[in-house]
Structure 1
Amino acid sequence: MNETLTLHPDGRTTVRMQRRLPHPPAKIWRALTQPEHLAHWFPAEVTLDGDRITYSFGPDGRITQNDPPNVFAHTWGTDELRWELQPDGPDGRHSLLTFTHTFDDRHGAASFTSGWHTCIMAMLAHLDQRPFHHDPATMARLHEDYIHILGLDPVTVDGDTLRIERQLTRPADAIWQHLHGDQATLGDTPPAPFTTTGVHPGPVTRAETGKILEYDTTGGTVRWELAEGTGQGARLILTHTGGAAARDAWRSHVEALSFALVD
Structure 2
Amino acid sequence: MTTSSRPDSLTTTGDRSALRMERRLPHPPEAVWAALTDPERLARWFPFEVTVDLVPGGTIGFNLPGESAPAASGTVTDLDEPRLFGFTWGTDQLSWSVSPDGDGSLLTLVHTFGDQPGAASFASGWHLCLGALGQLLDGGPVEAGRDDGALHDAYVERFGLGRGVVESVPGGRRLRLERQLVRPAEVVWDTLCAGVEPVPGLPVPEGFTAEKVEAGHVTEVRPPGFVTFAVEPDGAVSWELGEGTGHGARLVLTQSGPEGFDAETALAAWQERIERLAAQLLTRPSLP
TM-score, length of structure 2 as denominator length: 0.85
Give the aligned length. 257
**Comparing 164-173 and 253-262, the one that deviates more:** 253-262
Rounded Cα–Cα distance in structure 2 between residues aligned with 1:44 and 1:129 = 20
Secondary structure (helix, strand or coil) at the match of 1:69 reads coil
Pairing of 1:41-80 with structure 2 (within 5 A): 41-49=45-53, 51-56=58-63, 58-80=71-93
Q: Tell me the distance in 2 between the aligned counterparts of 1:222 and 1:64.
A: 45
Partner of 1:259: 279
Asked if structure 2 preserves the Cα contact closer than 8 Å seen for 1:14 and 1:100, the reply is: yes
Cα distance between partner residues in 2 of 1:43 and 1:202: 45
Q: Is the 8 A contact 1:3 1:150 kept in 2?
A: no
Name which of 3, 12, 15 aligns with 2:8: 3
From 185, 189, 195, the counterpart of 1:172: 185
Report the Cα offset of residue 77 of structure 1.
Answer: 0.7
Pick one of 202, 206, 209 that aligns with 2:220: 206
Looking at structure 2, the residues matched to 111 and 207 of structure 1 have their Cα atoms a distance apart, in angstroms, of 28
Percent of aligned positions with the same letter in both sequences? 44
Q: Which residue of 2 aligns with 1:110?
A: 120
CA RMSD of aligned residues (A): 1.5
Query: Equivalent of 1:223, from 227, 238, 245?
Result: 238
* Poorly superposed stretches of 4+, deviation over 6 Å: none
Q: Please point out which of 250, 254, 257 is paired with 2:270.
A: 250
> Helix, strand or coil: the match of 1:36?
helix
Residue 49 of structure 1 deviates from its aligned partner by 3.1
Q: For residue 252 of structure 1, give the secondary structure of its aligned residue in structure 2.
A: helix
Q: CA deviation at 1:59?
A: 2.8
Amino acid at match of 1:149: R
Partner of 2:99: 86
Structure number having the greater helix percentage: 1
The gaps in structure 2 that reach 5 residues or longer are 65-70, 284-288
* C-alpha contact 1:107 1:154 (8 A) present in aligned 2: no
2:204 aligns to what? 190
Q: One-letter code of the match for 2:251? A: L
**Equivalent-residue separation in structure 2 for 1:75 and 1:21 (angstroms):** 25
User: Which residue among 249, 253, 257 is the counterpart of 1:238?
Assistant: 253
